[in-house]
Homo-oligomer: A and B are copies of this chain.
Amino acid sequence: MSINQLIEGIIAKKSPIVVGLDPRMEQLPEEIIKTYEDQGCSPYDIVKNSLIEFNKGIIDSVKDLVPAVKPQVAFYEQYGLAGMEAYAETCRYAKASGLYVIADVKRGDIGSTSKAYSLGHLGKVLYKESKLNDFEADSVTVNPYLGDDCLGEFVDEIKAYDKGMFVLVKTSNKSSEQLQNLSVEGKKIYEIVGEMVNDWCQKTIGSKNYSPVGAVVGATYPSEMDTLRKVMPNAYFLVPGYGAQGGGGKDVVNAFNADGLGAIVNSSRGIIFAYKNSGLPYKEAARQATLEMQTDINTALEEAGKKYW
């Protein structure tokens, strides 16, 4: 799916929102796990099946409300092969549900190695005409520490397969300032990375004025976000840090351009585990939390004169 299709989805659903699929066994509804325990499944299958069922439930309950989901691969990888089976099935199911899938993998390596990541997550890996890359997504997150010969490898598959990426520019965590906010001749590292991203953007702008090369910019740093919006006018921002990490609707307004587009805000725990605080079943709780987030963000955008619908 292309960046243009993501934009169409955002407008059609009135929802610049991506739901983060970050399941943890200890936070899943007990009844899901119990089903597979009662069936006498192995621990491997209990974990795999529970993660899949939970994610499918979330996807089913929010797919008419949001254009995209973002599985965080770490929460699958930690469970080994059982987790990776669940990850693959989650990506497949989300795509089949018409959602744009952002693989939050934060990969990045030297050129030839980034090529393998890029082919695996965005492109095609064939053996005798059989497609092997079970982890194919629409977009990936990429770490810029290794520079352009890393980023460029991803751009190849982005162009060839109409995919996308979000480069880590200013992350939402507290210690992101340690490296990202250092000053080089009056310019912060995050600005310099933003300029690197912008160079790739300018080479890849699509018909809707946005590039498939985007940036991760945390909701927890509104002033940095304001700066970065100007540095990368044609980049889509993937904005983590809303909700559980502390950001609210007003904190993310600066991520959007004057056209009301240019950003998609993530919430993970605040949506998928909303049932913990609401007393509702998990699917209904997720749906309600998504609707509340939608109202919060759209209200803030309307107040800022950034109505896109």
Give me the interface of A with B, judged by CB distance under 8 Å: 22, 25, 42-44, 46-47, 72, 74-75, 77-85, 88, 106-111, 113-114, 116-117, 119-121, 125, 127-128, 130, 132-135, 143-150, 168, 171-180, 182-185, 189, 192-193, 196, 240, 245
Contacts and interface: CB of A to CB of B under 8 A. Distances in A.
A163 to B, nearest CB: 15
Given A81-B85, A81-B134, A146-B173, 9 more contacts: A72-B109, A74-B114, A74-B120, A79-B132, A79-B133, A83-B132, A111-B173, A143-B143, A178-B196
A207 to B, nearest CB: 30
Contacts of A180: 145, 147
Contact of A74 (B83, B117, B178, B182): B117
Given A81-B85, A117-B77, A149-B173, A189 B182 contact: yes
Contacts of A183: 184-185
A79 B124 CA distance: 10
A9 B234 CA distance: 52
Label chain A's interface by main secondary structure: helix
The 3 closest A-B pairs by CB, nearest first: A80-B134, A147-B175, A78-B120
A127 B47 contact: yes
A253 to B, nearest CB: 22
